[in-house]
Amino acid sequence: MSNNKTNFNEFRKKFTERIQNRIEDVFNTYGDGSCNLIEPMKYSCLNGSKYVRSLLVYATGSALNLDPELLDQPAVAIELTHTYTLIHDDLPCMDDDDIRRGSPSCHIAFDESSAVLAGDALQSLAFQILSQKKNDKISHETQLNWVNFFSNAIGLRGVAGGQYLDLAINNKDVDLKQLEKIYTLKTGNLIAPCIMLPYMLCKNYPEYSKEMLELGLSLGVCFQIKDDLLGYTSSSETLGKTSNKDEIRNQPNYVKLLGVDEAQKKLNEQKDFFNTKLKNLDFDKTIFAEISNYIFEREF
Interval 97-123: pLDDT, tens: 999 988 999 999 999 999 999 999 999
CB within 8 Å of 181: residues ≥ 6 apart: 165
pLDDT score recorded for residue 99: 93
Q: Where are the domains of the chain?
A: 2-297
List, for residues 209-267, the tens digit of each pLDDT value. 999 999 999 999 999 999 999 988 876 676 666 666 666 677 899 999 999 999 999 99
CA 88 vs CA 26, 69, 263: distances in Å: 21, 30, 27
The arithmetic mean of pLDDT across residues 175-191, rounded, is 96
Q: By C-alpha distance, which of 231, 228, 221 is closest to 269?
A: 221
Give the Cα separation of 87 and 247 in Å (integer): 21
Mean pLDDT (the chain, rounded): 92
Query: In the chain, pLDDT over 70 holds for what percent of residues?
Result: 94
Report residue 104: phi and psi, to 5°: -55, 135
Question: In sequence order, which ranges of the chain are alpha helices (DSSP H)?
Answer: 2-30, 38-45, 52-63, 72-89, 106-109, 112-131, 140-154, 159-168, 176-183, 189-199, 209-233, 236-239, 245-249, 254-258, 260-280, 287-297
Quickly state the pLDDT bin for 298 (edges 50, 70, 90). confident
| CA dist., res. 243 & res. 210, Å (int) | 35
As a whole-number percent, the residues of the chain with pLDDT over 90 amount to 82
pLDDT of res. 297? 86
Residues whose CB falls within 8 Å of the CB of residue 198, separated by 6 or more in sequence, listed in order:
57, 60, 61, 64, 66, 70, 71, 74
Segment (H or E) for 58: helix 52-63
Q: What is the pLDDT of residue 1?
A: 31
180 contacts 221 by C-beta, under 8 angstroms: yes
Amino acid at 5: K
More reliable by pLDDT, 84 or 232: 84
Q: Is the dihedral of CA 103, 101, 199, 69 positive or negative?
A: positive
Architecture per CATH, 2-297 = Orthogonal Bundle (1.10)
* H/E segment holding residue 99: strand 99-100
